[in-house]
Amino acid sequence: MKRLKKVMSILTVSTVVAAALAACGSSTSSSSVAEQSSSSAAEESSAAEESTVEGNVATGGSTSVEKVIGALSEAFMGENTAVTVTYDPTGSSAGVTGAEDGTLDIGLASRSLKEEEVAKGLKETVFALDGIAIVVNNENTVEDLSLEQIAQLATGEITNWSEVGGPDAPVVLIGREAGSGTRDGFESVVDVEDACVYEQELTSTGAVMTAVAGNPNAFGYVSLASVDENVKAITVGGVEASEETVKDGTYLLQRPFVFVTKEGEELSAQAQAFYDFALSEAAADLVRNAGAVPVV
């Protein structure tokens, strides 16, 4: 009996202590959150922007925009701690459908809307451009290819570089794995979907660059931002790949990253804030760092 009492008292004491500790913990953590949000609010008021938005912004769609949207939402959520931006990589078409039926606040697509989609009352806003560079080994003498030639090289219709003005050497296409946004972009722009004859399917841009740098017969596609001096980026239809030529549309191997919204329907406050942020000049560097070309 005595023992039971002792146990009971120990239990009560420990409960009280635990409760006190928990209270302490919660009070400190809540105060630190308050501090954080007030400091970020201060930052933002200087940027003349409201920080009162809160809630969820559901985005989703193209897998290719993952890096860009990830960078944008991370920065956005850093400034607006009360907002959560979610992104569901389900493919461009699913992004368009999601925007149409309202399951997504903003749909993401890595292509322009089709006419019938516009007819359904959807609106597109280009927030970034994706330039794809064609790279060859430094030893390759080919300087320029047309889109048609690129398609023929990729599908194995042309098997020797001499047919496009290069050395007498076999053509080796080095690409990305199925599902990669760069692969999807290349194949859709060049119009060779599911028809490419790959010699290697690698899982990163860096691996493609290394493989192309190490094989004089190789050519591959990489996002514009990752081209360096270890490989040679060729001109397409006489136009050099650069941020400027992608922006003014003269470089053909490009596609738009678009926000899909409903025409004439207002976004929620937090979605509008994210939308505005993505199109602001502050976001340009984020877009650039994520490997795409900003439009502002």
7 binds another protein (CB under 8 A): no
Q: How many CB atoms lie within 10 A of CB 100?
A: 17
Q: Which of 84, 210, 226, 242 binds another protein (CB under 8 A)?
A: 210
198 binds another protein (CB under 8 A): yes
Tokens 């409960």 locate to: 15
129-148 positions binding another protein, by CB under 8 A: none
Nearer to another protein, 77 or 169 (CB): 169
Q: How far is the CB of 225 from another protein (least distance, A)?
A: 20
The count of chain residues that interact with another protein, using the rule CB under 8 A, is 28
Q: With CB under 8 A as the contact rule, which of the stretches 122-130, 201-209, 255-263, 271-279 interacts with another protein?
A: 201-209
Tokens, residue 108: 């993401």
Q: How far is the CB of 257 from another protein (least distance, A)?
A: 17
- x/- contact string, 213-252, with another protein (CB under 8 A)? -xx-xx----------------------------------
- What SS3 string covers the chain? CHHHHHHHHHHHHHHHHHHHHHHHHHHHHHHHHHHHHHHHHHHHHHCCCCCCCCEEEEEEECCCCHHHHHHHHHHHHHHCCCEEEEEEECCHHHHHHHHHHCCCCEEEECCCCCHHHHHCCEEEEEEEEEEEEEEEECCCCCCEECHHHHHHHHHCCCCEHHHHCCCCCECEEEEECCCCHHHHHHHHHHCCCCCCCCCEEECCHHHHHHHHHHCCCEEEEEEHHHCCCCEEECEECCECCCHHHHHCCCCCCEEEEEEEEECCCCCCHHHHHHHHHHHCHHHHHHHHHCCCEECC
Q: How far is the CB of 197 from another protein (least distance, A)?
A: 9
201 binds another protein (CB under 8 A): yes
49 binds another protein (CB under 8 A): no
Q: Which of 102, 121, 165, 170 binds another protein (CB under 8 A)?
A: 170
- x/- contact string, 59-98, with another protein (CB under 8 A)? ----x-------------------------xxx-------
Q: How far is the CB of 209 from another protein (least distance, A)?
A: 11
Q: Which of 93, 200, 250, 272 binds another protein (CB under 8 A)?
A: 200
Q: With CB under 8 A as the contact rule, which of the stretches 15-23, 78-86, 175-183, 265-273 interacts with another protein?
A: 175-183
DSSP state of 55: E
Residues that bind another protein (CB under 8 A): 63, 89-91, 169-172, 174, 177-180, 193-194, 198-203, 207, 210-211, 214-215, 217-218
